[in-house]
Structure formats: C-alpha cells, structure tokens
Amino acid sequence: MSGEMGRHPLEGADRDELHSSIDDLAWVFARRAAGLGPDDPPISLYDAGLSDDQIKAARLARVAIYKHLETLIGSSLRLDVGQALEHSASWDEVAEALEVSRQAAAKRFGDLRRGENVAVVISRRDRVREYPDDARIRVGEVGGPEQYDSDRGVWPIGKKVRAEAKYAIVAVDGIVRRIYELDPAGWREAEPNKWEFTAVGGRELDAEAIATAYTAGELPLRPGDDCPTRVGGAYRPHWF
C-alpha cells in the first residue's frame, strides 16, 4: 500500500479497540430490544442475575443486530471500494486493505469497474429544486440557457474520473437526454470535494458528434438509452 496511509488501519490495539467498541454498541441496542433497563444486571459471561427469558431475549436481539450489521457492512464495503477506485486506488491497494489477493478483490468487486474507460453520468428525476444559498438558485431540469449550469455541477467526482472521462451523460427519469464532451482542463472545485465540469464549446453534443463517438467506442450511451437513477445521489461514474 502507498506510504500515504503509513500503516494498516487495524493493527494491534486498534483492532482490539474496534472489536470492543462494536461489542459494546451491540449490547446497548440488544439490552434496549430485550427490555433491559439501566437498573438490570449487566450481561456477563455467566449472565448472573438475569432470568432465562431475559438472557434469551438479549441474545436473540444480538443475533438480529449482527445480521443487520452484516448486511450494512456488505453495502458499505461496495460503496467504499467503489469510491477508493474512483479516487485512483489500484486493485493491489484494495486487496491489501481487504487482506486478500488481488484476484480475489477484483473478482468480488469487479462489477464496479467493468472496463478501463469511464464517463460521468448524471441521472436525475424530472424536477426542479430551489436552493437560496446556491448561486444558480434553481437546479435540476430547469430548461433553457440555465440547463448547462445545472447539469455541470456540483458533483463529488474523484480525480481518476476527472482525469480520464471524456464525456458527461445526463439522464432524466431513467432515459439519456443530453451529452457533453468534457474539457479536460475545465474542472473547477466549486465546493470542497465537489466539482463542476466544463463542456467543450459550452454546449451539448449534436447528433452527428454523438454518433461518431459512440461508433468509435468512446461513448457508452446515447440519447434515448436506458440509464436509471440509483441510490446514493444523481452522480455516478460509468465504467465501460
């Protein structure tokens, strides 16, 4: 792993502290679910002072809590691996963090990176929102000359995508509607870790340019193609 991290985030006492903290937190919720209050005896190795029914309720509550954590951890792993890859992590670095082989990491999370090319995808609902603190005031499907400013920012786009993406694709209600060719030197950090792109010519691509890029394999989607919204925000990198 690169020298930026310095050492594995879970070594020695840190790992013990994490395990203890999770265990303590699980007990907090388990006692609450089992109806145990602050005046009831603590859960111990021998569960002294508690009835069979209380012990059973607390232990089953722990089972349910850890099952929920198992599901949460799985989705969080995918989110963080995807974000790490977008921010220029290699498969070797992902594998080291997971303490598995590179092949195992790529096999498990390979669907997050199906190819070496990437496009910026904005997939939103057909609606308009107003934000008084935003210089644009109205964002979303605002129409007219304001649409370009609404489309181009601001998005939490990682440095690898900013460096490699050639196109931005905007979908509305699950269907591609607009495509922009990106100016590689036109990225602006409008807010901390949120970026605004600049389109070549400051306008959408026309049908001829879209057809040429798609035929050349540089563009994965065209206007009219399916592009559904996904949980986690309107922006996502599209690897192809």
Residue 107 lies in a domain: yes
Residues 118, 54 share a domain = no
Residues 180, 161 share a domain = yes
Predicted TM-score (pTM) above 0.75 = no
Specify the DSSP class assigned to residue 195.
E
One-letter amino acid for residue 52 of the chain: D
Taking only the tens place, the pLDDT of each residue in 173-219 is 999 999 999 999 999 999 998 999 999 999 999 999 999 999 999 99
Looking at 111, 135, 153, the residue that finishes a domain is 111
Looking at 54, 88, 111, the residue that finishes a domain is 111
Q: Which residues contact 150 (CB under 8 A, 6 or more apart)?
A: 136, 138, 139, 140, 141, 142
Looking at 89, 111, 133, the residue that finishes a domain is 111
Residues 178, 128 share a domain = yes
If one counts the domains in the chain, the total is 2
Q: What range defines the domain where residue 157 resides? A: 114-239
Taking only the tens place, the pLDDT of each residue in 40-92 is 877 765 566 778 888 888 889 989 999 999 998 988 898 889 888 877 788 89
Residues 179, 128 share a domain = yes
Residues 119, 107 share a domain = no
Angle, CA 64 vertex, CA 61 and CA 67 arms, to 5°: 150
pLDDT greater at residue 107 or residue 210: 210
Residues 42, 77 share a domain = yes
Inter-residue contact 33 to 68 (CB < 8 Å)? no
